Structure 1
Amino acid sequence: MVGMHSVHVAHTADLDAGTLAAARGLLDEVFAPDMTDEDWEHCLGGLHTLVRDGAELVGHAAIVQRRLLHGGRALRTGYIEGVAVRADRQRDGIGSAMLAELVRIARGAYDLAALGSTDTAVPFYTAHGWQPWRGRTYALTPDGIRRTAEEDDGIYVLPLAVPVDVTGELVADWREGDVW
C-alpha cells in the first residue's frame, strides 16, 4: 500500500541521471510501444512525483507549466504528464497519492489543471474529480491556430482559480510531438 511509501516531489533539475533514467524506463514499460522521446520531453522542466519500493521506482507523474487559451485569456495551466505505476503495483493507491500531490501543487500555483487521458485511465481521473472537456480543442502552431478534433474526447480539466466553460474552445500552446 502507498501508506508504507512516501511520495517524493522534486524538480527535474534536482533529479540525478539514474532517477531520470528509471522514470523514463517506467514510462517505456507502462506505455509500450507508444512512449516517444517527445512524450518524455513533455515530462521535463517541472515537478515530478516519485514513489519507490525500496530502491525501485514504482510510480512517476509530473506537472509542467503550459499556457492554455480559453475565454479570451491565457491560463497558467499545470499540465499533468507521465502518470505511470508499475503494472504489479497498480490499484495500490500509488497513482491516487501522486495525483493528490500534483493537485495540491496545482491549487497553489495555477489557474487550471489539465491533462490528456488514455481511454483506460478515464475512470481513474473522473473518480478524482477531473472533468472531460466537452468543447472543441485547438493548438497554437507555428502556422497559426489549428483544430485538434482527434483530441476532443481525451482532454480533462480540474478548474482551480479561474472558472471555465468546459463546452467552450480550448487552445494549447505549441510543442513537438503530441500537442495535447
Structure 2
Amino acid sequence: MKSSHLIISQLKSAHSWSKLKEFDEISKLINSLTLEARKYIAFAHKKEQILLVALKNPNLCAEFNTYTAPILLNTLSSFKEHFPTLSSLKQIKAYFPQTPSPPKRSTSLLSKEELDAQLKQIKSYRQRRALIQKYQEQGCIRFLPPRHFARYNEIIETFFIQAYQERSDGNFQIQSTNPKLTSIFESIQHIIQQSHES
C-alpha cells in the first residue's frame, strides 16, 4: 500500500499537476526567508520568468526589491536541484495589491453645521453613529469624525486638533555651536518655561 507522501509526490511529478509543484517550491522559497520578512508576505505567484511577491505593507516593496530579491535569486541559482521549476526565474519583484476603491455615490458634501443639525435631532448614540457612517460611505463628508463624535450634540471647533501636554520644564542645556540654532533653542526653552510657569 502506498503512503500518502508517495502519492502526493507522484501527483506533483505529473505534468497536469505542475502548478502544485510550483506552489510547493514557492512556499519553500518563502520559508527560507527570516520570520520578519515572511510576516509581511501575503502570497506569491509566478508569471512567465518573474516571481511576483505580494506584500501586506506598500512601504516595504522598495526594500524587498533592493535587498531581499537578490538574495532569493541567489538561493534559486545555488540550489537548482531543490527548485527545478523556479530555477529559470530571471527576476523577483515585490508589489502591493491594491483593491479598487468603490465609486462614490454622491458628490454633494455636507458641512459641519448641516451634520450637526441632523445629529441634534437624533437622540440615540447608535443612530447618530450609523448616520455618520452612512454619509462617510456615500462620500458626503470628507472628514473622519472621532469615534465618539456622534455622542455630543455640539460640534467642538477644535476637535481636529490634538493637544499634547509639555513634559519638559525648560531646564536643559543647549550644546549647539551654531549661533542660529542656539537662538532657536533658546526661544523654545523660553516658551516652555513660560508655559510651565502658568
On whether the aligned pair clears a TM of 0.5, the verdict is: no
- Using the size of structure 1 for normalisation, the TM-score is 0.20
Q: RCO (CA 8 Å, sep 6+): is it higher in 1 or 2?
A: 1
- Using the size of structure 2 for normalisation, the TM-score is 0.19
Which protein is richer in helix relative to its size? 2
Which protein is richer in strand relative to its size? 1
- The structure with the larger Rg is 2
